[in-house]
Amino acid sequence: MTSGPSAGQQAWLARRPRIRFLIRRLGHLLGSLAVLVTLSFAMIHLIPGDPVRIALGPKAPLELIRARKHSLWLDRPLPTQFGHYLQGLLTGDLGTSISAKLPVSGIIADRLPNTVQLAGMAFVVIMALSVPLGMVAAVLTRDGRRGGTELAFTSLTGFFATVPEFLLGVGLVVLFAVQLHWLPVAGKGGPGSYLLPVAALSVGAIAGLARIVRAETLTVLGEDYIRVARSKQLPARLLYLRHVLPNMLTGTLTIGGLLLAGLVGSTVLVENVFAWPGLGTIVVSSVVQQDYPVAQAIILMLGATVLIINTAIDLILGMLDPRSTILDS
Amino acid sequence: MTNRRRRGLATALRTPTGCTAALVLLALAVLAVIGPAIWGESAARIDVAHILEGSSARHLLGTDNLGRDIFSRLLVAARPSLTLAVLATLVAAVVGVPLGAMPTVVGRRTGRIVNAVIEFSVAFPAILLAIFVAIIVGVGARAVVLAIGIASAPGAARLTQTLAASVAGSDYVAAARLVGVRRWRLLWRHVLPNIAEPLILNLTLAVGGALLALSSLSFLGLGVQPPAYDWGRMLEQGLGRIFVTPVVALAPGAAVVIAGLAFNGLGEALAQAVGARPMVGRRAGRSVGGPVGSPIRPATRPASMAKAGVAGQDPVGSDTLIVSGLTVSFPTPAGTVTPVRDVTFTVAKGEIVGIVGESGSGKSLTALAISRLVPAPGVVTARRLQFLGGDVLERPSPALRRLLGTSLAVVFQDPGSSLNPSLLVGRQLAEVAEVHQGLRRPQAMTRAVDRLRAVRIPDPKRRARQYPHELSGGMRQRAMIAMGLMGDPALVVADEPTSALDVTVQQQILRLLRRVNTDTSAAALLITHDIAVVGELCHRVLIMYAGRIVEDIDVVTLAAGPSHPYTRALIASVPDMTTRRGEPLATIPGRPPQPHEIPDGCPFAPRCAHATDQCRVELPPLQPAGSGGRVACWHPQGTALPSRFSANGSRS
């Protein structure tokens, strides 16, 4: 314990770059999570002035303020508070919502599935559409062929990648719900109610990712080994799926990972456009109502999700890359 | 560098996208300055008699819940929307730029920590950070400016870091460091001034992103609070009326989108203008996009094959490869260039033919054309291009594909990039047998291991299960040759197969190629710029100059004394043991003509000591010469090669 890993252990790790990489990345994740937990705890203490007084208003009676402080553990010494916070996190006790007077864990349990459904569907749609779209666009427009197609692709994807998801959501509502009456305006109901939120979440990401996929594919198509593969007269299916796809995946995933992490933020916005009963709507209202326990818990959850996504992407990249360049970085 | 970027801005403004985007941004800036003065009054005028009205002649976008004109409010809101975006970007710059510059001035350890912090926060969604900040400082304009500023800071830091790193590696910074300039002074005097311009430009473009982010927070109700308003707040207020008057929600949304698109459009036009480099001087065969089955089409292929080509030289018979009148051309903005012109030759069974020439002589493109690998938009035409009796210019039938896939092996210059990095070496070999010979995977793999053994790769079983990066350069080139041996090779096209390798390894690869030739009686076409390699390996040599064959000669005659002045000059420029070390190495004066400036006469005439007026106006045809070769020259030289030191051209 005191001397750290023995020389034998170190040599064992040195021979297994993947395991070393895994351990190091998981270490990073734990460190980042620790920072996140500390920040979410510190949040309420960083508020200038008296957060409870701010929340309850200047006219609130002193007893109420005292009682509220006691229920939020704000009248204990800081280390005790932090210990209580950590203990709560480990036991699933995230405090009580000030406005709803309900346990935060219950609120999250109610709403989390809705958010996960929305984001999960959007993710599947994004991946299923952007990779083929970008690859087909690259194959069609390689070597400067079909200038018209290229122009259409770049301007359309450029447009949809720029329009923020919440504005797209509003546009979709106006067109498909208000004008055409095809789909519900807001809320979560039957399968139809998923269409617009998922579209609002995914269209921009599909456009952005398809552009990246196309650029990466074009780069790979220009490589010598693709010329060699062509000289072997392989069928197009093999050429694109076996020789092109795996080689453009690394670059695509690197940026796709950032996009995926951004999806967590976009979900907050899109949920608010469609009044979706998920975490995104409640976190915004909790901020406005100064319902600190709820805001704290949801920020912690969403932040942890982002960190876990980033780590997962890194791990996948590390395993995918046979040259192990990422493993050593 | 600075000049190029400035020219980039000018170029960007000349493109339709860049020009439109810049005009829109200019209009927005003007609107932000004059808007409140002109429409401020009508935007604030409360008219309880006309509340929540739809669009009308008097109120273009209707009125809000206090009867105020929404169109006026939209125009007035340009100022707060843009101002907040600029402020947020300034916050991002103030926080991010020093953070990003830090790694260049602080020690390595601290630098790494700073880098880690930047990497960590760049991946964190801005909206989460913004919500976090909004909780601490409370909702309102101040909160969102701080929030978006802080959330964008990691991006600004990353940008600064990248730019600073590019400058930090430059010679003048290294020199300043060497003479002991202190770190902070180094940053202020040497690093920051040199990255200021792109930094400011990129931060300006980041205002667009801040605008979008701010409007999203205002939309959530976290930003600007009533009675103040910006586009995001107007959108939120309009959303409640979306059933009755959707235009009230759409108009502020459109304003945000237009502004965002304008910033993005300018950014993209700039990136293209700076990123686009002139293509001049790059070799078409290597650089243009992906190699593909380009529009190869027979152009002037006559119905009767008997029609002679150049001076009755049209080859006939059972040769492995028959090339007649091969021409490769590329359309360019400046007109069509033709890097390969009317090339005619044959390769007999088991013959090793070298093609020698300088860069740009068309030798590599000739090889690519034979393998159907000329990249688009190149156009390949020929009177005849036959491989083992199959017409290479035909539309690829399954039979032709199999013939080319199994009997024609291609070995490229750089073994490091010729093998697919994400596929096991063995699989890359095996797939040839799987696709064309119908072998199952295990059998194909066994054959791949056997072929790797045949090219003398030690421990082939293990190597087959490795990735290309685990093999040395020489071993990779052996693997490439083994790949060609998977089928039943009749011709190996090797394009500079040894140029990227160590001198010691070069010899091994050449020996291997010769062994393949003797063992399988496969013919070979060896493209090289190294005439010494040719003498070692080839039976016959084609000398190419400016896209044409100028001499076709067997190696014995080549050594004894070629006829074409260019060939003689090439031979003379090879140093050997008798070369006097005190003298400068022999060179051929001048340079070969560019593909778009090829003269009517003999292209070598400007560099030739024997050139006459006839040479300058009339192209010499490739005609039979002594000892079975061919030469394209009006003044072929005598057979005996003059003494090296009187070789023409080398001393002039």
Matching residue, tokens 């003298």: B583
Q: How many whole angstroms separate alpha carbon B283 and alpha carbon B230? A: 54
CB of B261 within 8 Å of a chain A CB? The answer is yes
CB of A308 within 8 Å of a chain B CB? The answer is no
A239 is written with which tokens? Answer: 């050429």
Q: Which of B140-144, B145-149, B471-475, B594-598 has the lowest mean pLDDT?
A: B594-598
CB of A182 within 8 Å of a chain B CB? The answer is no
% chain A with pLDDT above 90: 3
Are the beta carbons of B300 and B381 closer than 8 angstroms?
A: yes
Closest chain B C-alpha to A62 CA, distance in angstroms: 22
Q: Give the model's confidence band at B286: pLDDT under 50 very low, under 70 low, under 90 confident, else very high.
A: very low
pLDDT at position B235 over 70: yes
Closest CB to B289: pick one of A54, A143, A230. A143
A contacts of B431 (beta carbons < 8 Å): 232, 234, 238, 242
Most confident among B73-87, B157-171, B386-400 (mean pLDDT) = B73-87
Query: Which is nearest to A265 in space by CA: B209, B542, B637, B123?
Result: B123
pLDDT at position B581 over 70: no
Among chain B residues, CA nearest to A313: B123
Given CA atoms A127, A129, A134, A136 in this order, what sign does their dihedral have?
Answer: positive
- A with B: how many residue pairs have Cβ under 8 Å apart? 207
Closest CB to B268: pick one of A158, A247, A261. A158
Backbone φ, ψ for residue B576 (5° rounding)? -140, -165
Q: Which of B224-228, B273-277, B375-379, B460-464 has the lowest mean pLDDT?
A: B273-277
Note the pLDDT of residue B263: 86
Q: Which one is predicted more confidently, A236 or B104?
A: A236
pLDDT at position B283 over 80: no
pLDDT at position A303 over 50: yes
Are the beta carbons of A143 and B377 closer than 8 angstroms?
A: yes
Angle at A202 between CA A207 and CA B133, to 5 degrees: 105
- Output b/e per residue, B597-632; b: 16+ Cβ within 10 A: ebeebbbbbbbbebbeeebeeebbebeebeeebbbb
pLDDT at position B507 over 80: yes
Given CA atoms B599, B603, B605, B606 in this order, what sign does their dihedral have?
Answer: positive
Note the pLDDT of residue A13: 65
A contacts of B269 (beta carbons < 8 Å): none
B460 preceded by cis ω (within 30°)?
Answer: no
Q: How many whole angstroms separate alpha carbon B602 and alpha carbon B568? A: 16
Question: Can you tell me the mean pLDDT for B555-566?
Answer: 83
Query: Which is nearest to A263 in space by CA: A201, A188, A179?
Result: A201
Q: How many whole angstroms separate alpha carbon B276 and alpha carbon B142? A: 41
State the DSSP code for B188: I
A167 is written with which tokens? Answer: 């504005």
Residues in contact with B456: Cβ distance below 8 Å, sequence separation at least 6, in sequence order: B478, B512
Closest chain B C-alpha to A294 CA, distance in angstroms: 11
Backbone φ, ψ for residue A89 (5° rounding)? -60, -45
Note the pLDDT of residue A133: 92
Chain-centroid distance of CA A318 in Å reads: 20
Note the pLDDT of residue B90: 92
Write the secondary structure of chain A as one string of H (helix), E (strand) and C (coil).
CCCCCCHHHHHHHHCCHHHHHHHHHHHHHHHHHHHHHHHHHHHHHHCCCCHHHHHHCCCCCHHHHHHHHHHCCCCCCHHHHHHHHHHHHHHCCCCECCCCCCEHHHHHHHHHHHHHHHHHHHHHHHHHHHHHHHHHHHHHHHHHCCHHHHHHHHHHHHHHHHCCHHHHHHHHHHHHHHHCCCCCCCCCCCCHHHHHHHHHHHHHHHHHHHHHHHHHHHHHHCCHHHHHHHHCCCCHHHHHHHHHHHHHHHHHHHHHHHHHHHHHHHHHHHHHHCCCCCHHHHHHHHHHCCCHHHHHHHHHHHHHHHHHHHHHHHHHHHHHCCCCHHHHC
Among chain B residues, CA nearest to A292: B135
Q: Give the model's confidence band at B280: pLDDT under 50 very low, under 70 low, under 90 confident, else very high.
A: very low
| CB atoms closer than 10 angstroms to residue A43 | 19
Question: Can you tell me the mean pLDDT for A230-238?
Answer: 85
A contacts of B405 (beta carbons < 8 Å): 231-234
Q: How many whole angstroms separate alpha carbon B284 and alpha carbon B375? A: 8
Q: Which amino acid is at B38?
A: I
Query: Which is nearest to A128 in space by CA: A213, A239, A236, A247?
Result: A213
Are the beta carbons of A52 and A69 closer than 8 angstroms?
A: yes
CB of A229 within 8 Å of a chain B CB? The answer is yes
Closest CB to B221: pick one of A54, A231, A284. A284
Chain B window 159-218: which residues touch A at a Cβ cutoff of 8 Å? Answer: 212, 215-216
pLDDT at position A10 over 80: no
Among chain B residues, CA nearest to A47: B136
pLDDT at position B294 over 70: no
- B480/A228 CB distance under 8 A: yes
B427 is written with which tokens? Answer: 């699989």
Given CA atoms B135, B139, B142, B145 in this order, what sign does their dihedral have?
Answer: positive
Note the pLDDT of residue B353: 92
Q: Give the model's confidence band at B579: pLDDT under 50 very low, under 70 low, under 90 confident, else very high.
A: low
- A302/B128 CB distance under 8 A: yes
Note the pLDDT of residue A274: 85
Q: How many whole angstroms separate alpha carbon B338 and alpha carbon B595? A: 6
CA atoms within 13 A on the CB side of B167: 28
Side by side, the strands of the sheet bearing B523-528 are: B408-411, B491-495, B523-528, B352-356, B540-545, B548-554, B630-631, B623-624
Strands B352-356 and B523-528: parallel
A contacts of B293 (beta carbons < 8 Å): 230
Q: DSSP secondary structure string, B241-309?
A: TTTT-HHHHHHHHHHHHHHHHHHHHHHHHHHHHHH----TTS-HHHHSS---------SS--SSTTS--
Question: Can you tell me the mean pLDDT for B383-406?
Answer: 84
Residues in contact with A57: Cβ distance below 8 Å, sequence separation at least 6, in sequence order: none
Q: Which amino acid is at A39?
A: L
Mutant choice from A165, A287, A328 vs B, greatest count of B C-beta within 10 A: A287
Closest CB to A233: pick one of B260, B375, B404. B404
Question: Can you tell me the mean pLDDT for B583-608?
Answer: 77
State the DSSP code for B545: E
% chain B with pLDDT above 70: 86
Query: Which is nearest to B511 in space by CA: B541, B477, B484?
Result: B477
Are the beta carbons of B244 and B54 closer than 8 angstroms?
A: yes
A contacts of B220 (beta carbons < 8 Å): 268-269, 272, 284
CB of A223 within 8 Å of a chain B CB? The answer is yes
Closest CB to B417: pick one of A158, A223, A272. A223
What are residue B527's DSSP bridge partners?
Answer: B355, B495
Given CA atoms B130, B132, B135, B138 in this order, what sign does their dihedral have?
Answer: negative
Mutant choice from B137, B220, B282 vs A, greatest count of A C-beta within 10 A: B220
pLDDT in tens, B142-156: 888 888 888 888 888
Query: Which is nearest to A287 in space by CA: A295, A279, A298, A276?
Result: A295
Note the pLDDT of residue B134: 81
Closest CB to B414: pick one of A224, A268, A302. A224
CB of B408 within 8 Å of a chain A CB? The answer is yes
pLDDT in tens, A96-136: 887 777 888 888 888 889 888 888 889 889 988 989 999 99
B245 is written with which tokens? Answer: 């008057």
Q: How many whole angstroms separate alpha carbon B608 and alpha carbon A196? A: 74
Are the beta carbons of B357 and B545 closer than 8 angstroms?
A: yes
pLDDT at position A30 over 50: yes
pLDDT at position B315 over 70: no
CB of B290 within 8 Å of a chain A CB? The answer is yes
- B423/A273 CB distance under 8 A: no
Question: Can you tell me the mean pLDDT for B600-619?
Answer: 84
Note the pLDDT of residue B138: 77
Query: Which is nearest to B373 in space by CA: B412, B425, B403?
Result: B412
Q: DSSP secondary structure string, B414-460?
A: -HHHHS-TTS-HHHHHHHHHHHHS---HHHHHHHHHHHHHHTT-SSH
Alpha helices in B455-545 (DSSP H): 460-464, 473-484, 503-520, 531-537
The 8 Å CB, 24+ separation contacts for B438-447 are B447/B486
State the DSSP code for B643: P
pLDDT at position B643 over 60: no
What is the ipTM metric for this complex? 0.81
Q: How many whole angstroms separate alpha carbon A265 and alpha carbon A294? A: 17
Q: Which of A290-294, B53-57, B578-582 has the lowest mean pLDDT?
A: B578-582
Note the pLDDT of residue B221: 81
Note the pLDDT of residue B644: 42
CB of A238 within 8 Å of a chain B CB? The answer is yes
CB of A45 within 8 Å of a chain B CB? The answer is no
Query: Which is nearest to B543 in space by CA: B365, B357, B363?
Result: B357
Q: Which of B74-88, B119-133, B528-542 has the lowest mean pLDDT?
A: B119-133
B412 is written with which tokens? Answer: 């490229």
What are residue B548's DSSP bridge partners?
Answer: B545
pLDDT at position B226 over 80: no
pLDDT at position B314 over 80: no
pLDDT in tens, A54-82: 777 778 788 888 887 887 777 888 888 88
pLDDT at position B299 over 50: no
Q: Mean pLDDT score of chain B, rounded to an integer?
A: 78
Residues in contact with A78: Cβ distance below 8 Å, sequence separation at least 6, in sequence order: A45
- A247/B215 CB distance under 8 A: no
Closest CB to B432: pick one of A232, A264, A269. A232
CA atoms within 13 A on the CB side of B298: 16
pLDDT at position B3 over 70: no
pLDDT in tens, A201-214: 999 889 988 988 88
Question: Can you tell me the mean pLDDT for B65-70?
Answer: 75
| CB atoms closer than 10 angstroms to residue B178 | 8
pLDDT in tens, B303-313: 333 333 333 34
Which helix (H) or strand (E) covers residue B37, if one does?
A: helix B16-44
Q: Give the model's confidence band at B577: pLDDT under 50 very low, under 70 low, under 90 confident, else very high.
A: low
pLDDT at position B498 over 50: yes
Note the pLDDT of residue B576: 65
Chain-centroid distance of CA B300 in Å reads: 33
B227 preceded by cis ω (within 30°)?
Answer: yes
